[in-house]
Structure 1
Amino acid sequence: MDLRRFDLNLLLVFDVMMAERNVTRAGERLALSQPAVSHALNKLRSLLGDDLFERSEGIMKPTPRALEIAGPVREALMQLQVTLDDTAFDPFDAKNTFNIAFHNYASTVLATPLARRLRDRAPQVRLHISSNDGHDLFKRLGDGAYDILIGPTGEVPPGFESVTLLMDSHCGLARHDHPLFDREITRESLSELPVIAIGSLKEQETGIFPVLIEAGIDINTMMTVPHLFAAINVLRDTDMVTYVLQRVQKSHTETYANLDGLRAFALPMDQEPVPCRMVWHKHMTNQSAHRWMRDQIAECFREVM
């Protein structure tokens, strides 16, 4: 292939398609019409001699050839972006868009101070906050769907950088007059209680639940909700309990609307502190706009956490 005649814009379209798997959404991210995205894909298909994407179950599913080249293309584009980046980044005049995946409790606490910072320091910068739902997070971070991932993540894979924003641990939460508080809280007494789980099934598989089970506490999950807001009234009106990070209960009662109607309890077991990390692709470490946004997030954490 003669790179002198190759339109590199086709690789940008391919990269966004790998992230979105949808022609319309890819066009929105690229500021292109749907026919323009389709035309670019057809040109790239002809050049590479492969269909690249095939419609399946409502999405554009990548072919084996597309999967083979996706990683190298993404890395090359990210490296090119960093190389050509203007290091004299001026946040007040910047028009960047950042896509950040937050753990649900962190997004609730940080959305307001972060919005205030952007209003005062970078009024034209756009921020899209997504839920950190535990599904293919590092893959989506690697393919550019997310710029930054924030939450109580586990081990960070090779190819990514991270900084620990804070350490936390879990506690239980129940209504203030729950019968649980009439006796000593033990592994056995907790095993008898119905649980309302917060977050995706993936989060439950990798969060506090495996630690509780290993300590001999049975988890009788009767309901699953996406965030703590949805659990508060259920906790007040039933004998269900849940498990949250201690900073939610100690520091953010006002944010979570009358959390004081509930009562926290210590877990009858030792537990390792949980790190809340900010994670990004290694190629974005020195990109000035990205670095600026990471600094704003870290400062917000120091202020409100």
Structure 2
Amino acid sequence: MNNIHGIDLNLIRVFDALLEERSVTRAGDRLGLSQSAVSHALAKLRLLLADELFVRGPQGMHPTPRAMELARPLRAALVEIATALSAPRFDPSTSEMTFVVATSDFYIGGLFPRVMARIRQEAPQIRLWLRMFNDLNLVEELDRGTLHLVVGAFGRIPARYRREPLIGVEMVWIMRRGHPAASSPLTLDTLGRYPHVDILLSGRAMPDAAAMQDQEGLERAFVTSDPTHLEGLLREAGLSRQVGATVPLILAAPPLVAATDMVALVPRSVAQTYRDTYDLALFDSPYPRPPTQIDMLSHNTYGAHPSVAWLRALLLDQLAAQ
């Protein structure tokens, strides 16, 4: 028989049981089938394979040479199928999986070194591919399973995604320590007088892009400083906002601020890390500004796989340990 489409998987199960039990009755008991059902399946197999397969003898059913030839590959195939259809398993200590995570330069440098250190301890053969999410189509890649996780700031998300809060990021204003306004408390007047460095997490969006943009039902933060809110406050005070530079990376802001009279809003941890390197002055916001909520997104289907669930738990654990 050359046409695999003529084979019913249940026939292979009957063949394997007969090979093991050497009895139609015992094979039926093992499979939960009647004796007549096993005999009928054996008749089908004999017809399909053009061989008797089992010959009745005084001590039961004896396999023919053709049956013995088929025994090992068919049993291995049954084991492979059973393994494939069983609940997914994941052992980080032996896995060679590559995880793909999209995020910003801030988290690549701030969170993932600790995550990678933990992975090297628990799963030394796993690879982490960290991708800048600036110009990725996150919806398309999450839906295709080519992205396992996304870490960033989001508004509304499609129902097919899972959102897990990671951390609230406190933002501060920075300027160079020798800045004309560095010796006084930061005010709205200062923010209206000096140009800003805007951080636009995209290489394609226009410089005046809205802070939150919709990508096929996924609202994603593009501009870290929420300029619309600040511009409204400045307008009420009779002031306006000037933009001196727009950059695609959070970590690009400190050196630009250090070399000019521009100001920028950045995560506090970034400002503290580079305070001495770039001789920066740090200021709390002069207007109420809640921390920026950073979430982890995964697809409800792909994210439920034990491997991705392990990585999700690892990230949550690392942030909880801070």
Question: Fold-level match, TM-score > 0.5?
Answer: yes
What amino acid is the match of 2:99? F
Identical amino acids, percent of aligned pairs: 23
Mean Cα deviation higher: 256-265 or 167-176: 256-265
8 A Cα contact 1:197 1:204, kept in partner = no
What amino acid is the match of 1:146? L
Flag structure 1 segments of 5+ consecutive residues without an equivalent: 6-82
**Structure with the bigger percentage of helix:** 1
- SS state of the match for residue 321, structure 2? helix
State whether structure 2 residue 98 is matched by structure 1 residue 97: yes
1:166 paired residue number = 167
The CA distance in 2 between the partners of 1:239 and 1:260, in whole Å, is 13
Given candidates 282, 285, 291, the residue that maps to 2:309 is 291
8 A Cα contact 1:172 1:264, kept in partner = yes
TM, length-normalised to structure 1:
0.64
Q: CA RMSD in A?
A: 2.6
Instruction: After superposition, give the CA deviation of every residue in 1:201-233 in whole Å (9 maximum; x if it has no partner).
Output: 558633322221232263322222232433322
State whether structure 2 residue 253 is matched by structure 1 residue 235: no
8 A Cα contact 1:232 1:259, kept in partner = no
Distance 1:204 1:231, change over 3 A: farther
The CA distance in 2 between the partners of 1:165 and 1:245, in whole Å, is 15
Instruction: After superposition, give the CA deviation of every residue in 1:147-199 in whole Å (9 maximum; x if it has no partner).
Output: 10001222222210011011133221111221123444322321121112224
Flag structure 2 segments of 5+ consecutive residues without an equivalent: 7-83, 213-223
Mean Cα deviation higher: 259-268 or 234-243: 259-268
- SS state of the match for residue 123, structure 1? coil
What amino acid is the match of 1:205? A
8 A Cα contact 2:172 2:265, kept in partner = yes
Q: Structure 1 residue 104: deviation in Å?
A: 1.9
The CA distance in 2 between the partners of 1:114 and 1:230, in whole Å, is 23
Give the structure with higher Rg (CA). 2
The CA distance in 2 between the partners of 1:204 and 1:98, in whole Å, is 31
TM, length-normalised to structure 2:
0.61
Given candidates 185, 206, 226, the residue that maps to 2:248 is 226
What amino acid is the match of 1:215? L
1:205 paired residue number = 211
8 A Cα contact 1:86 1:288, kept in partner = no
- SS state of the match for residue 216, structure 1? helix
- SS state of the match for residue 179, structure 1? coil
- SS state of the match for residue 128, structure 1? strand
